[in-house]
Amino acid sequence: MWRERALFLILLLLLHHICASKDDQEQHLCPPSSCGKISNISYPFRLQGDPEKCGNKRYELGCENNVTVLYLHSAKYHVQAINYNNYTVRVVDPALQLHNCSSLPLRSLSRSNFSDTYTYYTDTYQAGLSSYENWESLIFEHIVFVNCKHTVRENVKYVKTEECVKWDSKGYAYAVVGDLKAEDFEVGCDIKLVAPTSLRSLNNHSYTSMHWGLAYGFEISWINLACQNHHYCPLRFCYFDSASQNLDCQLLSELDLN
Ligand SMILES: *[C@@H]1O[C@H](CO)[C@@H](O)[C@H](O)[C@H]1NC(C)=O
Ligand SMILES: *[C@@H]1O[C@H](CO)[C@@H](O)[C@H](O)[C@H]1NC(C)=O
Ligand SMILES: *[C@@H]1O[C@H](CO)[C@@H](O)[C@H](O)[C@H]1NC(C)=O
Ligand SMILES: *[C@@H]1O[C@H](CO)[C@@H](O)[C@H](O)[C@H]1NC(C)=O
Ligand SMILES: *[C@@H]1O[C@H](CO)[C@@H](O)[C@H](O)[C@H]1NC(C)=O
Ligand SMILES: *[C@@H]1O[C@H](CO)[C@@H](O)[C@H](O)[C@H]1NC(C)=O
């Protein structure tokens, strides 16, 4: 009995493999679509209105007023670049204007909005480059906006946003790069907004630089889909290795040691 079962299972797996690779090939046969400055929209992405068989429905992009739009957690973001080499797409909040340091994102967004932060994925996009929690491969840095009842002088992480951002007439507005640890919390301060950036050359002592970072946008990845399609890691986790620019496998225990 077990033999028939095993054979059946193998057949099923084989069939699944054949179907999956056929799907994949067809999707790759579609010519790239284009919208505004994003001229190379191809698998896994598709543009609204593309033929049914093109791309993956979960990665459908819109084209609004000649701007490529990505839908993330029921919010809209403008696509700045798609990097097929490392499975990332860089997006920016539509309210951010490069030359207006008073412009702010419409919505808060942080790593905690992505399920890969805690556990196995189900989301379309990930905030990291591993199919399992891996803090080493963080691709975004947080900028935290705080409003305080008093001035904060003792903590160098608190950078004044005066001129640019003001929350109310009495408060003192600051921005902080990175995560606010317990020891960084100041009494009488409220967190107003958290926004990510993937700009590497961020100067954490200058609000102008933080604003450039926000306007540059942040990278999210489709690493889980890439891993499912092309890289099978038996009893291990698949991740993107930036040194080799390839997908690789890693044991869970190796991850935990890092
Ligand atoms: C759309 O954007 C592209 C690239 O920025 C530009 O070349 C083109 O002229 C724009 N088209 C319209 C209708 O604005
Ligand atoms: C467009 O993306 C595909 C990968 O989907 C890549 O093979 C091709 O080289 C890219 N073309 C350009 C012009 O970037
Ligand atoms: C992905 O590739 C783009 C373009 O080459 C690069 O700007 C970006 O930093 C890369 N991101 C990661 C996480 O390697
Ligand atoms: C800059 O952005 C702020 C906040 O969104 C807005 O009130 C202001 O009108 C903008 N200034 C310009 C010159 O667009
Ligand atoms: C991210 O999570 C925060 C807190 O739950 C929520 O207020 C915010 O709207 C979420 N952002 C998006 C874009 O879904
Ligand atoms: C601020 O940047 C400096 C280097 O420019 C770095 O050593 C420091 O750890 C950063 N601080 C924070 C809070 O990110």
Per the rule left: phi > 0, alpha: psi between -120 and 50, beta: everything else, 241 is beta
Q: Is the CB of 178 under 6 A from ligand 2?
A: no
Per-residue confidence (pLDDT) for residue 10, from 0 to 100: 38
Residue 10 lies in a domain: no
Phi, psi (5° rounding) for residue 67? -125, 135
Domain limits for position 243: 73-257
Nearest-ligand number for the alpha carbon of 66: 1
- CA–CA dist 235, 198 (Å, integer): 31
Q: Which of the 8 DSSP states describes residue 20? A: H
Q: What does the pLDDT look like over 151-183, one tens digit per residue? A: 998 899 999 998 899 998 889 999 999 888 888
Residue 42 lies in a domain: no
- CA–CA dist 111, 100 (Å, integer): 26
Q: Is the CB of 73 under 6 A from ligand 5?
A: yes
Q: What does the pLDDT look like over 208-232, one tens digit per residue? A: 999 999 999 999 999 888 888 877 7
Average pLDDT along the chain: 83
Residue 159 lies in a domain: yes
Whether 4 shows a pLDDT value over 80: the answer reads no
Least confident of 36-40, 218-222, 245-249: 245-249
Whether 63 shows a pLDDT value over 90: the answer reads yes
Q: Which residue has the tokens 């057949």?
A: 11
Per-residue confidence (pLDDT) for residue 95, from 0 to 100: 98
Q: How many domains does the chain have?
A: 1
Cα–ligand 1 centroid distance for 40 (angstroms): 14
Q: How confident is the model at residue 11 (pLDDT cuts 50, 70, 90)?
A: very low
pLDDT average, residue stretch 24-52? 87
Per the rule left: phi > 0, alpha: psi between -120 and 50, beta: everything else, 34 is beta
Q: How confident is the model at residue 126 (pLDDT cuts 50, 70, 90)?
A: confident
Q: Is the CB of 98 under 6 A from ligand 4?
A: no
Q: Which of the 8 DSSP states describes residue 21? A: H
Residue 24 lies in a domain: no
Residues with Cβ < 8 Å from 214, sequence gap 6 or more? 92, 93, 96, 104, 105, 143, 195, 197
Residue 25 lies in a domain: no
Per-residue confidence (pLDDT) for residue 24, from 0 to 100: 53
Per-residue confidence (pLDDT) for residue 22, from 0 to 100: 43
Q: Which residue has the tokens 């499912």?
A: 228
Nearest-ligand number for the alpha carbon of 95: 4
Q: Is the CB of 178 under 6 A from ligand 6?
A: yes
Q: Is 103 exposed, middle or buried (0-12, 13-18, 19+ CB in 10 A)?
A: middle
Per-residue confidence (pLDDT) for residue 252, from 0 to 100: 63
Residues with Cβ < 8 Å from 87, sequence gap 6 or more? 129, 221, 222, 223, 226, 240
How would DSSP label each residue in 64-88?
A: ETTEEEEEETTEEEEEEEEETTTTE
Q: How confident is the model at residue 19 (pLDDT cuts 50, 70, 90)?
A: very low
Is the peptide bond prior to 94 cis by the omega test (within 30 degrees of 0)?
Answer: no
Per-residue confidence (pLDDT) for residue 28, from 0 to 100: 61
Q: Which residue has the tokens 């993956």?
A: 56
Cα–ligand 3 centroid distance for 84 (angstroms): 9
Whether 96 shows a pLDDT value over 90: the answer reads yes
Q: Which residue has the higher pLDDT, 138 or 195?
A: 195
Q: Which residue has the higher pLDDT, 233 or 144?
A: 144
Q: How confident is the model at residue 134 (pLDDT cuts 50, 70, 90)?
A: low
Whether 104 shows a pLDDT value over 70: the answer reads yes
Per-residue confidence (pLDDT) for residue 137, from 0 to 100: 62
Residue 128 lies in a domain: yes
Whether 68 shows a pLDDT value over 70: the answer reads yes
Cα–ligand 4 centroid distance for 39 (angstroms): 30
Cα–ligand 3 centroid distance for 206 (angstroms): 24
Q: What's this model's pTM, rounded to 2 decimal places?
A: 0.85
Considering the chain, what percentage of its residues have pLDDT values greater than 90? 53
